[in-house]
Each structure stands twice: as C-alpha cells, then as structure tokens.
Amino acid sequence: MPEGEYLAVLSVKYNIDPDKLFQALVSAKEKEKVMCDPLTIKCRGKNRGGRIFLIMDTTVVVAQIVISDGFLSEKTNPISKFKDCERVRSYWVKKADCTFKLSTVSDLIVGMNRINLAGKILELDEPKSLHTRWGANCVVANALIGDNTGTVKLVLWGGQAHSVSVGDKVQIVNGQMRAFKGEKQLQVGRNGAVKVEREQSIVTVSLRD
C-alpha cells in the first residue's frame, strides 16, 4: 500500500487532520518523538532513502512504517491526495455499516448501506413506467432530497414513487448509496422504507407495500 494511502486511512481511523499528521511526521524526523493526539510518533532512524516511524496509541503499536524522504519533503501535504482513495472509502463504508446512525447528506459515500437519513423533498419528477431487463414492469421517480449539509438524488420505486410530494419531510430507512452512469444516487430497496411526515402523522412506504 502506498505510504500516502496508508496515512490517509490512519488519519480517518484516528480522527486526525491530515495536515496535522503530516506536520507531526516531518517534526518527528528532526525531534525523534512527537505527540499527535491520540497517537505518538517516533522516528527510529534511516532506511534506504527513508525514515522508519513507529506509531503508537498509548502503549499499543499501531504501525511501523518506512516513509521516503521525498514524501516528507513535499511542499504540500501529500496525504491529502489520498483522502478519497478506495481504501478510505471502504473504511467509511465499514464504519457506517457498524454504527447504523442517522446520517447527513455530506456523510454519504457510494457503497454505503443501512443509511438512515432525514431530509426534505426539494424536487420530484413525474413517475415513469419502465420495462426491466428481467421482463417486469415497474414505476420509478427521481427526487432531490436535502438537509442542511447538501442535496442528493433519491430514486423511488413502486409505491414509493407516488408516496411523496415536494416539500414533504421524510426519513429514509435502510437506504443504499449507489452510482449509475457516474451519478450518485440514494436508493431504498426491499429491506428499506420511506417515512413521510404529514400533519403530525407518519406514513411508511416500502417496496413490499
């Protein structure tokens, strides 16, 4: 794994700003030991054009990694180049699957499952009938859902397509983030539901309805 990619994953896992982590590594190169809360970074010497770093969380060894002098001498933080790499995205997906918390639009990453999202329907296309490649007919409607962090396309199938209106406050339960023709989409499958708040009541619609 490239050094920058590994360090990007490390910064996400331990909730450390990438710039702070990079500066700590550069400082440890000269000072031998630097604190980068919650981690301690120690430089243990040179090795073939690089430096050997021991990274610890209290008394637990997190990693021992060789980082090239070229990487450490970059003028702009090279870790930031990897903040959207596949391993970082995979880490966020696994974390989201474990926590099953209420997400915001800004949290959403392609590949995430079990998404709970509260938002408002801002736009809604007319439902359309489609003939799938499996020979079935279905109804689909594209909507735009938003919260105070942003907006995302929402794909509604079957009864869901007729369940919402522009201006409705909704909660997506057990949604999935997917990409179709390069566009990010929030979808609600057979194991999910759309909860619509109307006049102090809640209407729940799933694909099973």
Q: Residue 92: pLDDT above 70?
A: no
Establish if 43 belongs to a structural domain: yes
Residue 95 located in a structural domain: no
- The domain that holds 187 is classified in CATH as 2.40.50.140
Residue type, 39: L
**Closest-CA residue to 117 (of 160, 146, 159):** 146
Poorest-pLDDT segment among 79-83, 99-103, 193-197: 99-103
- Domain holding 59, by residue range, is 3-83
Backbone angles phi, psi at 189, to 5 degrees: -85, -165
In the chain, how many domains are there?
2
Residue count of the chain, please give it. 209
Residue 91 lies in a domain: no
Dihedral, 119, 124, 129, 134 alpha carbons, nearest 10: -40
- Which helix or strand (DSSP H or E) is residue 9 part of? helix 3-13
* Cα–Cα dist 13/15, whole Å: 6
Is 118 inside a domain boundary?
A: yes
Higher pLDDT: 133 or 130? It is 130
State the pLDDT confidence band at 198, using cuts at 50, 70 and 90: low
Same domain for 106 and 193?
A: yes
Reply yes or no on whether the pLDDT at 94 is more than 70: no
Question: What average pLDDT does the segment 95-122 reach?
Answer: 82
Same domain? For 108 and 201 the reply is: yes
Whether 126 is in a domain gets the answer: yes
pLDDT band at 135 (very low <50, low <70, confident <90, very high): low
- Whether residues 23 and 67 share a domain: the answer is yes
Q: What is the pLDDT of residue 86?
A: 74
Residues 72 and 163 placed together within one structural domain of the fold: no
Pair (106, 198) in one structural domain: yes
Is residue 25 scored above 80 in pLDDT? yes
69 with 127, same domain: the answer is no
pLDDT, tens digit, 9 for 90 and up, residues 112-122: 888 899 999 99
List b or e across 93-125, with b for residues whose CB sees 16 or more CB atoms inside 10 angstroms: beebeeeeeebebebbbebbbbbebebbbeebe
* Start-to-end C-alpha separation, the chain: 46
Which of 49, 83, 117 is the last residue in one of the domains?
A: 83
Report the amino acid identity of residue 187.
Q
> Which pLDDT tens digit goes with each residue over 138-170?
888 999 999 999 999 999 988 888 889 999 999
Q: Is residue 89 part of a domain?
A: no
Structure confidence at residue 208 as a pLDDT band (50, 70, 90)? low
In a domain, residue 176? The reply is: yes
| Nearby residues of 162 by Cβ (< 8 Å), 6 or more positions away | 127, 139, 141
Report whether pLDDT(207) > 60.
no
Give residue 93's pLDDT: 61
